[in-house]
Structure 1
Amino acid sequence: MAQAAPPGIDPDEFLEAMAEDTYEIVAGLELVTPVLVTSVPGLDEIVWPGTEVITIGEDEPLKDVLARLEGDQVAVVSADAPDLPPLLIGKLFRELGRAEITVCPAEGGGAVAMACALPAPAWAAPDLDAYDAVKDLRAQAPGPRRVATTPGWHRLRTPQDVERLDPGLEGWDNTRALVTAR
């Protein structure tokens, strides 16, 4: 994620700002308990007191991460979506009423977020960075209707992607402060 920092912005500060904004989106949702899952040292400083922090390996498969989580349902949100509308996370959970996994696809490939019941379906090996995460999951599923989608969004993966941030949207305060200060 640090590679998405625009010129003149410290990559580590940019990564932290995006992750904090994304965390704030999730932490502000009703009936949701946020958990920070990270392979980046020091990010535990961005969470509210009492938030569980799970440290993972850089290349730990999402399937293994899901096996470490507790709860009835889970949504995994990529930290490089600091302006993700909370409504899209809610839609992920709503779609679990008709599918085992729901995916919010990312513009340009991959996924912004996904949700499933816990334990996660044994057939699923989700990857938010797979070029066509929905197609891959549907190929793994015993039936294609076990994977639902919501409207898509964008992720910040290159310096040019900051142009996708909508100044009219609320939130993304930390990322906004860095981008507008340059």
Structure 2
Amino acid sequence: MDDRRVVVLVVPAAGTWAPPGRTADAWRLALAEDTYEVLASLDRVDVAVAVVGGDDSALAGVAALTWPGTPVYSVDPTRPVLDAVEQTGPAAAVVAVSFDVPDLPGLLIGKLFRALGSADLAVTPAEDGSLAAIGVNIPTASWVTEAALTFDTRLAELESIKPRRHAIGVGPGWHRLRSNADLARLDPGLEGWDATRSLLRGA
């Protein structure tokens, strides 16, 4: 059994924010490609991509961005995170990552896996109050199953229902790209996020 798996969750284009002059579909695919590349570069981690409510066309569009052999599958819009986790296959722990963190340091994923050594759940908070990544210990604790997790779930909500003090591990925060203001957080001097960079430059 593989011990650690990571899955990128990609949302539909409808309702997705995009910078002026860029289509929502092109923007979400650029972000998803870069986020996937960050995770695919990690050692000893198997990576998958889940498309929320994805049909065959949506799955094919996302699969074209990945390396051959990467699992790409559709997940239930009503329980996207846990459905994505369950479909990754046997694992000791799974980290689900929002598609809109193209410059996420891989080190932060490692911190979540370490936290899952003792916690039921581990999260990377986003600056806007949402979550950038959610790690789940396997088998999934009943309270985590009942929490109906999404990346918009607030950490305070989870803290209020956790059954014990150390049930949740909280890693360093990061930022998601969900508004024009968030674009200022991208560091042009850092390597990576090539697809996002190219789209912003209009290439």
Match of 1:157? 178
What SS does the corresponding residue of 2:143 show, helix, strand or coil? coil
Q: Alignment length, in residue pairs?
A: 180
Query: 8 Å contact 2:79–2:150 — kept in the other structure?
Result: no
Matched residues, percent identical?
42
Structure 1 residue 63 corresponds to structure 2 residue 71: no
Match of 1:81? 101
Q: Deviations over 1:71-129 (max 9, x none)?
A: 22111110001110111111111111231211000001110001122222121122211
Query: 8 Å contact 1:93–1:115 — kept in the other structure?
Result: yes
Match of 1:28? 41
The 4+ residue runs of structure 1 with deviation greater than 2 A are 1-4, 57-69
Equivalent position amino acid for 2:192 in 1: G
Match of 2:126? 106
Return the alpha-carbon distance in structure 1 between the equivalents of residues 162 and 111 of structure 2: 21
Please report how far the alpha carbon of residue 25 of structure 1 lies from its aligned counterpart in structure 2 after TM superposition: 0.6
List aligned pairs for 1:156-175, cutoff 5 A.
156-175=177-196
Unaligned runs of 5+ in 1: none
What SS does the corresponding residue of 2:110 show, helix, strand or coil? helix
Structure 1 residue 10 corresponds to structure 2 residue 11: no
Please report how far the alpha carbon of residue 43 of structure 1 lies from its aligned counterpart in structure 2 after TM superposition: 1.2
Q: What RMSD over aligned residues (CA atoms) do the two structures have, in Å? A: 1.7
Match of 1:144? 165
Query: 8 Å contact 1:66–1:119 — kept in the other structure?
Result: no
What SS does the corresponding residue of 1:107 show, helix, strand or coil? coil
Equivalent position amino acid for 1:140 in 2: I
Query: 8 Å contact 1:22–1:80 — kept in the other structure?
Result: yes
What SS does the corresponding residue of 1:145 show, helix, strand or coil? coil
What SS does the corresponding residue of 1:75 show, helix, strand or coil? strand
Return the alpha-carbon distance in structure 1 between the equivalents of residues 165 and 66 of structure 2: 36
Unaligned runs of 5+ in 2: 1-10
Please report how far the alpha carbon of residue 8 of structure 1 lies from its aligned counterpart in structure 2 after TM superposition: 1.4
